[in-house]
Amino acid sequence: MKDAFRLQDLDPRRLGKIFDQAFMEIAFDEDGDLVVCDEIEVLVRAYEEQDLIRYESSFGSSAAHLDVVSFINGFNRETNMVKAYVGEDKDEDGDWVVTFEYDVKVYPKETVSAATVVRVARDFAGAVRHGIAEVDDGTVFPGDDDA
């Protein structure tokens, strides 16, 4: 497999092959998007129209909205790489959905290496885990092994 890819070449199947070759567990969600299962589940998508690759993870929290917002503010102050936000509505389980995102800009006609795509996913997962450990006192994600 080649090592450098243009953004338009990074469909979910191609991304899946990149992570599979890096010996990382992968799956595809109900929309056909790639989910990388490393420390946490990371949705990886290439957006040609926005010139970026987005890394994203979401977790539900049954904490009070004010506690979730306080956590997000602390997380965003603590973590430079990743931004966090909460959705406006609760999910079907009655939880607030906390989403973590990181975007990598890939300029038109430029390429990104497979190693970079994988390294950023690992860095993203580590930054999310570290940020949660640093900021949350167990109020937002109490003993949650998935977050």
Per residue in 86-127, pLDDT (tens digit) is 999 999 999 999 999 999 999 989 999 999 999 999 999 999
Give me the pLDDT at residue 1, please. 54
> Where exactly are the structural domains of the chain?
4-135
pTM equals: 0.92
Rounded distance, CA 84 to CA 72, Å?
Answer: 6
Is residue 92 packed enough to be buried (19+ CB in 10 Å), middle (13-18) or exposed (0-12)?
A: exposed
The residues near 108 (Cβ < 8 Å, ≥ 6 apart) are 7, 51
Q: How far is CA 15 from CA 65, 69, 89, 127, 134, in A?
A: 35, 33, 31, 21, 31
- 79 has pLDDT over 60: yes
- 4 has pLDDT over 70: yes
Q: What is the mean pLDDT of residues 59-82?
A: 96
The residues near 18 (Cβ < 8 Å, ≥ 6 apart) are 1, 5, 114, 117, 118
Rounded distance, CA 26 to CA 34, Å?
Answer: 7
4-135, CATH topology level: Yope Regulator; Chain: A, (3.30.1460)
Token output for 8: 């338009």
The mean pLDDT of the chain is: 94
Instruction: Give me the torsion for CA of 92, 97, 101, 107, rounded to 10°.
Output: 40
Question: Is residue 134 within 8 Å of residue 115, measured between CB atoms?
Answer: no
Give me the pLDDT at residue 39, please. 81
